[in-house]
Amino acid sequence: MNDLDILQQINKIGQLLLKHGAEIYRVEESLKRMCEGFGFTDIEVFAIPTYFTLSLTLHDGTPYQSSKRSRSNRTHLDHLYELNCLVRQISNQELSLEEIKNKIQNIETQKLNYHLILIGYIVSAAMFCVFFGGHINEMIVSAFIGFILYYFIYLLEKLDVNGIVRTILSSMVLASIAIIAQKMNIITNQQSVITGTLMILVPGIAITNSLRDIIGGDFVSGLSRMIEAILIAASIAIGVGIMMMVLQGV
């Protein structure tokens, strides 16, 4: 087996792990374990949420160094699980290079079912509205907002609008639809609609990962994700607040 071919695949796995929302310690440990499995020495890995560097000594004694960047990160828990299994198999030396290549390609080329994601937006918006005390009318309006939000966020992501502005605009959309529905007397409980639908925007993964990074001792990454979570929560509040203020007198 060629060392550089293997390392190329390992780098790819590291990049995918970062991209799909793994904690920093998982990225670092996975890379280290895989390299140890192939018998490389002097392995040093350092990762932050958008970047990692890997340096080691090859079997013939030459030093190797690589760094990879992963900018467009988005959570994908299915892939996270598959990558985790793949890393475990590679560290135990269960796979040949061809099998590793195939598995990575499998993960990379998997087609997402976007209809399911749309259903996810609609169902979770509607159900969390019920959860916060909405009745049938509120539920229907929330489902509608979930439907709109899916396409709105999809559009903003296509245009590569940054996360903060995206969250502000999306929360403005959801708040304005809810308030207008309230003014038109379609719903009576505006609070349940707004709280239920803003759940979609809540930065759950950023909070969880930032705490788990801090536990792992990666304070730089933990803090950067914490700031991300706080900024997103603040932008939700700002977006909803602006729309409340604007539509108050209408």
Partner 1 sequence: MESLIQCLAAFIGCFGFTFIFRIQKNIRFSIIGSLIGTLGWFVYLITASLNNIFLQSFIAMLCVSLLAECFARLYKAPATIFIVIGCFPLVPGSGIYYTMLYAVQGMNDLFMESFLSTLGISLSLALAILISSTAFQIYKRIKTNQYIDMG
Query: Smallest distance from the beta carbon of 145 to partner 1, in angstroms?
Result: 13
Q: Which stretch binds partner 1 (CB under 8 A): 5-13, 34-42, 116-124, 157-165?
A: 116-124
**Part of the chain binding partner 1 (CB under 8 A), chosen from 33-41, 54-62, 96-104, 188-196:** 188-196
Contact call for residue 151 and partner 1 (CB under 8 A) = no
For partner 1, the closer CB: 48 or 130? 130
The 119-148 site mask, x for binding partner 1 (CB under 8 A), equals xxxxxxx-xx-xxx----------------
Asked if residue 76 binds partner 1 (CB under 8 A), the reply is yes
Among 66, 73, 75, 189, binds partner 1 (CB under 8 A): 75
CA distance 166 to 125: 18
Identify the residue whose tokens are 């709280």.
195
Q: Does 221 bind partner 1 (CB under 8 A)?
A: no
Site for partner 1 contains 116 (CB under 8 A): yes
Residue 101, CA distances (Å) to 29, 50, 189, 237 in order? 20, 23, 54, 45
Among 195, 218, 221, 228, contact with partner 1 (rule: CB under 8 A): 195
Cα–Cα distance measured from residue 37 to residue 98, given in angstroms and rounded to the nearest whole number: 16
Among residues 73, 12, 65, which one has the least CA distance to residue 48? 73
* Cα distance between residue 77 and residue 73, in whole Å: 12
- Are the CB atoms for 48 and 42 separated by under 8 Å? no
Separation of alpha carbons 18 and 52, rounded Å = 9
Q: Residue 127: phi, psi to the nearest 5?
A: -75, -35
Q: What is the DSSP letter of 217?
A: T
DSSP state of 188: S
Q: Binding residue for partner 1 (CB under 8 A) from 155, 165, 215, 220?
A: 215
Contacts with partner 1 by CB under 8 A lie at 21-23, 26, 75-81, 84-85, 88, 112-113, 116-117, 119-125, 127-128, 130-132, 191, 194-196, 198-200, 202, 204-205, 207-209, 211-212, 214-215, 233, 236-237, 240-241, 244-245, 248
